[in-house]
Chains A and B, each alone.
Chain A
Amino acid sequence: MLVTFGSLIVKNLFRQRTRTALTAVGIAVGIATVVALGVITGGLRTASNDFVKSGGADFMVAQKGASDLTYSAVSRRDWQAIEARPDVERATGVLFEVAHVGSNPFFFYFGYEPAALGGLGLRPVAGRLLAPGAPREALLGAKAASSVGVTVGGSIVLDGLPFRVVGLYRTGDLWQDSGAVVPLATAQELSSKKNVVTAVHVVAAPGADPHDVAKDLERELPRLVAIESAADYGKVDQGFEVLGAINLAISLLAVGIGAIGVMNTMIMSVFERTREIGVLRAVGWRGSRIVRMILLESAALCVLGAFVGVLLGVAASRAILLVPAVSSFLTPSYAAEVFVRALAVGLVVALVGALYPAFRAVRLSPMEALRYE
């Protein structure tokens, strides 16, 4: 029995239910794309951050300007120079390669010096670690073992070379747990990268500030770059930057397409109600109240679309992870930031889509609006 501003907005939206529903679906598809991409890129960042910090490392050093981490090359001389620094407690070189194993084209394997494995945080699950002087032994991450169906005593072929699996491990780092560890010398031979590692994981000496050590290292060895977190990953992997750009482009596209849909709906709605808006002006409604009514109608429509879009986006990101090759290097990251961005996209769509209709609604004088046929 009491009409409120909110109930008036809901009633207006539900006048044309099909149109409202279709517009909300259009917005939802855009938002779902933003959410799914956000969840995936967030997951990729988390995984890469875990890799940077693997084995308790403070940061990772790689070749400056590499277009992809696997293309990075740090010479043994530079690695030794890092190792020799008094402010560095430990410097572990790793050769990072990708092989096609079974149906997985992105199977990661890591070449480490067997003697360094003890300090890398590899928790043996079964079997033992690599023995010195055994070039064809491999360790399998627990996740990889279950996905390729190989256990201790079995064998795995990496880039055409068979390895005997002597142990299973867990690190908590998705990439390493989904891959294999082999002796560094064998990995270098296999990939024709003699005396070269992909990166060096660095632990600063007690009392030394890791950030200062990283910056000092970059000054001393200008061909190298220190990666302290996933945010720095773009320095050695342009794929991350490309992914970020794609994410932004799709978000903007979603805003653009969504805004056009909302604008179309709101323009039709305002045109149909021109006389009614004239009546509201005639009974004393301020122009600002009418603008607020139209903006809130649009916002309600977009929030509804955003809510459905978030659900669709989460479902889509889970569906993508059903592909084993994807789940080996990606875990979804449902960070609050992703959902805040989805809501922000929805509200920007609402604002952009409703501005012109709102402007048009108050531009007419009450009498012009009342005369509108």
Chain B
Amino acid sequence: MSELVVDVRDVRKTFEDGRIVALGGMDLQVSRGEFVAVVGPSGCGKSTLLHLIAALDEPDSGSIHVGGHALESHKELSHYRARHVGMVFQLHNLLPTLTAIENVQVPMFELDLGVRERRRRSQNLLRAVGLEGRERNRPPQLSGGERQRVAIARALANEPPILLADEPTGSLDSAAGRTVLDLIERLRAENGLTIVLVTHDRDVAARADRLVHMLDGRARPEPMLATSLPSSFPQPVGGSR
């Protein structure tokens, strides 16, 4: 049996003093090297689940273990975020005053890397995402797809074993979206990444090893293979919580 790297059990999360239930007893298990797509309608709690796994927010109850770390008792969540997970947002969230290569270097502040190593690593990452020659461009000088590729390079800057992607192609046209997905798949193959990706898009979901379909803050009982995606799978209608 393959090793579990993400283990989410009975996680609940509400907003606005309990009036909005984002997660109502969510379970998710992801094995090392697996590519899991979390799908479901808007507001079903997909993004909230991802944010909790990334330790960007705290659950009301339940347990989340990532790479052996119990997040509810982890004392230094910033240390966890810097080293164990890389996060890609729907909107790139790059720092506008920094160049592409500087944006990639931002997470490295938390590692004791020498100047040369930081430069080497950031150049390699930009080369890997196909942005060689665009290092000195600032986000406004890059296309949407290029910005998202910089964001992926930034997410991988500290060589985390797990990549979390929240609608990474949601703001891109289909060609740019395909390029980004190809890139994610290639990086996964090269680095043995575990990927948890949230999406509305059936084409994106079809790339995953496994689908987790969410509804009303919970996973459906039977996980589906991506290839068995039903034709009624909802199309994108906007951002999810």
Contacts and interface: CB of A to CB of B under 8 A. Distances in A.
A328 B9 CA distance: 85
Given A1-B135, A1-B136, A367-B51, A283 B118 contact: no
Given A2-B115, A289-B109, A367-B51, A284 B56 contact: no
B119 interface: yes
Contact of A284 (B81, B93, B95, B115): B81
Interface string B91-122: 00101011101100111011000010011000
A281 B51 CA distance: 12
Interface stretch (A134-142, A251-259, A272-280, A336-344): A272-280
A286 B115 contact: no
B16 to A, nearest CB: 13
Interface in B75-96: 76, 78-83, 87, 89, 93, 95
A2 B158 contact: no
B203 interface: no
Nearest to B101: A1
A287 interface: yes
Contacts of A286: 76, 78-79, 110
Given A279-B93, A282-B87, A2 B105 contact: yes
Contacts of B162: none
Given A2-B115, A365-B56, A276 B95 contact: yes
A11 interface: yes
Nearest to A15: B97
Contacts of B97: 11-12, 15
Contacts of B105: 2-3
Given A15-B97, A284-B107, A284-B110, A367 B81 contact: no
Contacts of A117: none
B154 interface: yes
Nearest to B103: A3
Contacts of A11: 97-98
Contacts of A285: 78, 82, 106-107, 109-110
Interface residues of B, number: 35
A282 B154 contact: no
B135 A284 contact: no
A264 B97 CA distance: 22
B13 to A, nearest CB: 11
B54 A282 contact: yes
A5 interface: yes
Contacts of B110: 284-286, 289
Contacts of B95: 276, 279
B57 A284 contact: no
A1 B99 CA distance: 8
B115 A366 contact: no
A68 to B, nearest CB: 59
B184 to A, nearest CB: 18
A102 to B, nearest CB: 61
Interface string B125-166: 000000000011000000000000000001101100000000
24 contacts: A1-B119, A1-B136, A2-B119, A3-B102, A3-B106, A5-B109, A11-B98, A15-B97, A281-B78, A282-B81, A283-B82, A284-B78, A284-B79, A284-B80, A285-B82, A285-B106, A286-B76, A286-B110, A365-B58, A366-B57, A366-B81, A367-B51, A367-B56, A370-B89
Interface of A: 1-3, 5, 8, 11-12, 15, 275-276, 279-287, 289, 365-367, 370
Given A284-B107, A285-B82, A287-B78, 10 more contacts: A1-B102, A5-B109, A275-B93, A282-B54, A282-B56, A282-B87, A283-B154, A283-B155, A365-B56, A370-B56
